[in-house]
Chain A
Amino acid sequence: MTTPTTTAPPERTVTLREIGPARRGTRPDEVVVALSPAFAGHFSKTIVDVPHAEVLRQLMAGIEEQGVTARLIRVRDTADLAAISHIAAKMSGSGISVGILSRGTTMIHQKDLARLSNLELFPQSPLLDAPVFRMIGSNAAQYAKGESPQPVPTRNDQMARPRWQAKAALLHLKEFECIEADRGPVEVEAVFGPGTAG
């Protein structure tokens, strides 16, 4: 499958610079993107080797293309996707957030929803590639604008189980290891490495 990155072979990298404690936003035109404890830190790519730099670029690009601002936070005290996403939604000026785990599992959340609910969930991390992350970002931004985006089509693959189920469990356990209890979420800035011009 063609991805927007095929013409840019040099792999982009990202480092996350901590800015300070994450705060509740007031801008109605922002989406908070919440990263799991090991995202772009202990881990550098998803379960199917999509670089975290690319995941983040595409999520943020999807949001920016809709004219909405992305704000990044890192959640450190849990690796539960629903919790990560819900914390972010509560901090988002628009009430909309995107939460993402290191292995790629992603969720769009909204502040008024119950924690275990969500607007859109992408549970099959092996099936998420760069274009899907772009669409997720775009949809989150559209929700923030009060529009009605068509849900990102979810895919399914019966043979994902034999190939990825155990690795997913392993990545999940590793992410758990990176949890820093009692440390609140921090606001971060993404600094992209080589390959970018902007």
Chain B
Amino acid sequence: MSTRDDGPTGTRLVVGVDIGNSTTEACLAEVGPDGSVSYLGTDLTRTTGVKGTPANTAGALTAIRGALARGGRGADRVATVLLNEATPVISGLAMETITETIITESTMIGHNPTTPGGEGLGVGTTVSIAGLGTAEPGQPVVCVVPPGWDFDDAAAAINTAVAGGAEVVAAILAGDDAVLVTNRLTRPVPVVDEVAAVEKVPLGMLAAVEVAPPGRTIRTLSNSYGLATVFELDPAQTRQVSPVARALTGNRSAVVVRTPSGDVTDRRIPVGELVLRGAGKTLRVDVDAGAEAIMEAVARAQPLDDAHGEPGTHVGGMLAQVRDTMADVMDTPGQPAVPVSEIAIRDVLAVDTFVPAEVRGGLAGEVALENAVALAAMVRTSRSRMQLVADLVSEGLGAAAVIGGVEGEMAVNGALTTPGVDRPVAVLDLGGGSTDAALLTREGECTAVHVAGAGELVTKLIDSELALGDREVAEGVKRFPLAKVESFFHVRHEDGTVQFFDQPLPPHVYARVVVLSPEGPAPVPTRHGLDHVRRLRREAKRRVFVVNALRALRQVAPGGNIRALEFVVLLGGSALDFEIPDMIADALAPYGIVCGTGNVLGTEGPRNAVASGLVRAYAAEPVRSGPAAPVR
């Protein structure tokens, strides 16, 4: 501490307060008459209410009191509280599935059961097991076994028929019985099982059943010419069945039935338009055109004035809801409603993703990875009610409270306290709903932008792509490294290293892919292996944070040229992530930029940048202007 409590005249106790979307941070410092700053303590608490609204007061006071307690100062000594000029930013997420796979006339079964029976290819006419007795000898048949048949009975019936001369070349079962039946057959044949809607398999049709050896995939039915050979197709027909072959690629087992006009189609679902207004243009883009087309349109409409989605679609609903929420937040009783023009969608991020969905017309609950587009949108208003927050804070604390600076500028200011950083510097604040960037040039000019899409979108992508249906689990996958529990006493981490334990791990994680949360390993309920989950997690982060980092930096970089930047400092909650900072640094490396996670004041890590930036800005001012005044 460089000053005494009742230090020399002119020493002032100030608190910088940053009200963010999710956290409110405070920084307590003494500012000497010469502008010197002694930092006394910081605090962090959850933001109360939507940022930029009077509900923030409670959280702000909590953070101020926390910083005072840590700094060992009483509230009565505070000269000025400095608040950031925070405008409300609300973000929303939506997802539209844009493709649909449809099987008609039950032409194929491609669900890939874990345990098919037998091996090889069998081609014959489909016959119900009850009708096997009347099957013509010498005519190859594919036996169809409905639900309710015991495996012993089914095997016995087939063996009896075979003994009587029937030529059973393959079987299709409703239950999970393929290995059981095959093991009991006098003459083993390929068997596909777990076909829940087996009664829909058309009887009396030519069908092919193929099962590959363990660890292999089918070769004939996934090959258009293989299908052509099996079913004696002409070139036109071959062209028609090629989607079937494609759909079966990678499976260990499959059934194809030759029906008059059976087909597998991959249909695009029209899900409406996105209307983007900006740069004097109004652009329309079909959402089902995919992320690339949407983002290209967004780029052409920069700066975006507003966006609308088609009513009745997820995207339309989401955009409307984001807008409505903002309107609700901004409306003050007794005052005229906020003009809609002030509540406009200012950025949209589209990301291609996929959603596991059950195939229409499938017989065995086949799941196809359908294409989808995830959208994040952001609305911010120019209207801030921070002055009201400042008044309330002042009243609650009994000290003056002023708006001390604009968020982005203050963030850069604070980031400059990171050791090793100098102007020109850009900061990237990696938050929950939006990714923010600000640039401070060598000359001291500052520009700032917010772009849509951040941590919450990553969670949503992980949730839907892994079909978890549980945001808490998805959040865990996002935040913590993975491991596979290989025994009760060891796990293999995602980097391949093994860790041993003295005490046995809890039974519910045994043999599972887990996330290593601070509370211990938590299982990820998925059939996918660790590598798949890891790849998907990193890809989700890349598509959101790396893409947005580049997008945001381009918007603040001189002439849109990222190479013109020298230092990039990562801030915000997601800058604490175990891999996002590295991914962004890797992406920026080719541009010759120094990029890393901030360490505000040399102690705070990526936290407290705005709050300490407010204090720094204040300290720089009074030297020239004397009394506390808002920094512009």
Partners in one complex: yes
A173 contacts across to B, CB distance below 8 A: none
Residues of chain A whose beta carbon lies under 8 Å from any beta carbon of chain B:
2-8, 57, 61, 64-67, 110, 112-114, 117-119, 134, 138, 143, 146-148, 150, 195-198
Considering the complex, give the chain A residue whose CB is closest to the CB of B484.
A148
In contact, A64 and B510 (Cβ under 8 angstroms): no
In contact, B511 and A112 (Cβ under 8 angstroms): no
In contact, B151 and A4 (Cβ under 8 angstroms): yes
Interface residues of B in 151-207 (CB under 8 A from A): 151-153, 155-156, 159, 175-180, 183-184
- With most chain B CB atoms within 10 A of its CB, the pick from A2, A7, A147 is A7
Considering the complex, give the chain B residue whose CB is closest to the CB of A120.
B507
In contact, B511 and A143 (Cβ under 8 angstroms): yes
In contact, B150 and A7 (Cβ under 8 angstroms): yes
In contact, A110 and B153 (Cβ under 8 angstroms): no
For the complex, give the distance between the alpha carbons of A6 and B150 in Å: 8
In contact, B115 and A143 (Cβ under 8 angstroms): no
For the complex, give the distance between the alpha carbons of A4 and B184 in Å: 16
A198 contacts across to B, CB distance below 8 A: 152, 155-156, 184
For the complex, give the distance between the alpha carbons of A114 and B523 in Å: 20
B180 contacts across to A, CB distance below 8 A: 61, 64-65
- With most chain A CB atoms within 10 A of its CB, the pick from B148, B149, B150, B153 is B150
For the complex, give the distance between the alpha carbons of A103 and B548 in Å: 60
Residues of chain B whose beta carbon lies under 8 Å from any beta carbon of chain A:
114-115, 147-153, 155-156, 159, 175-180, 183-184, 486-489, 504, 507, 510-513, 523, 525, 527
Q: A4-B151, A7-B153 are in contact. List 16 more A-B contacts (CB 8 A).
A: A2-B148, A4-B177, A7-B150, A57-B152, A65-B177, A65-B178, A67-B115, A114-B504, A117-B507, A118-B507, A143-B510, A150-B525, A150-B527, A195-B152, A197-B152, A197-B153
Considering the complex, give the chain A residue whose CB is closest to the CB of B129.
A7
Considering the complex, give the chain A residue whose CB is closest to the CB of B184.
A198
In contact, A66 and B511 (Cβ under 8 angstroms): no
Task: Output the least CB separation between A141 and chain B (Å).
Answer: 10
Task: Output the least CB separation between A99 and chain B (Å).
Answer: 14
Pairs A–B under 8 Å by Cβ, sample size 9:
A7-B153, A8-B152, A61-B180, A64-B180, A65-B177, A66-B179, A118-B507, A138-B176, A198-B184
B115 contacts across to A, CB distance below 8 A: 65-67
A146 contacts across to B, CB distance below 8 A: 486, 511
For the complex, give the distance between the alpha carbons of A170 and B268 in Å: 62
Name the one of B150, B183, B489, B523 contacting A64, with C-beta atoms under 8 angstroms.
B183
For the complex, give the distance between the alpha carbons of A61 and B487 in Å: 26
For the complex, give the distance between the alpha carbons of A148 and B530 in Å: 11
Name the one of B114, B150, B155 contacting A4, with C-beta atoms under 8 angstroms.
B150
For the complex, give the distance between the alpha carbons of A191 and B487 in Å: 35
In contact, A113 and B504 (Cβ under 8 angstroms): yes
For the complex, give the distance between the alpha carbons of A5 and B179 in Å: 18
In contact, A8 and B510 (Cβ under 8 angstroms): no
For the complex, give the distance between the alpha carbons of A114 and B505 in Å: 11
In contact, A113 and B488 (Cβ under 8 angstroms): yes
For the complex, give the distance between the alpha carbons of A3 and B155 in Å: 17
A119 contacts across to B, CB distance below 8 A: 507, 510
A196 contacts across to B, CB distance below 8 A: 152
Considering the complex, give the chain A residue whose CB is closest to the CB of B157.
A197
In contact, A5 and B510 (Cβ under 8 angstroms): no
A66 contacts across to B, CB distance below 8 A: 114-115, 179
For the complex, give the distance between the alpha carbons of A196 and B151 in Å: 10
In contact, B159 and A197 (Cβ under 8 angstroms): yes
What are the 9 tightest A-B residue pairs by CB atom distance, in nearest-first order? A197-B156, A112-B488, A198-B184, A148-B512, A65-B179, A6-B148, A4-B150, A148-B511, A198-B152
Considering the complex, give the chain A residue whose CB is closest to the CB of B193.
A65
A61 contacts across to B, CB distance below 8 A: 151, 177, 180
In contact, A8 and B488 (Cβ under 8 angstroms): no
Task: Output the least CB separation between B175 and chain A (Å).
Answer: 6
For the complex, give the distance between the alpha carbons of A66 and B486 in Å: 19
For the complex, give the distance between the alpha carbons of A117 and B184 in Å: 37
A8 contacts across to B, CB distance below 8 A: 150, 152-153
For the complex, give the distance between the alpha carbons of A5 and B504 in Å: 40
A150 contacts across to B, CB distance below 8 A: 525, 527
For the complex, give the distance between the alpha carbons of A138 and B176 in Å: 10
For the complex, give the distance between the alpha carbons of A7 and B156 in Å: 13
For the complex, give the distance between the alpha carbons of A178 and B74 in Å: 76
Task: Output the least CB separation between A197 and chain B (Å).
Answer: 3
- With most chain B CB atoms within 10 A of its CB, the pick from A61, A110, A118 is A61
Task: Output the least CB separation between B331 and chain A (Å).
Answer: 47
Assuming the contacts A4-B175, A66-B179, A197-B155, asked whether A112 and B504 have C-beta atoms less than 8 A apart, the reply is: yes
Task: Output the least CB separation between B596 and chain A (Å).
Answer: 37
For the complex, give the distance between the alpha carbons of A66 and B183 in Å: 12
Task: Output the least CB separation between A82 and chain B (Å).
Answer: 12
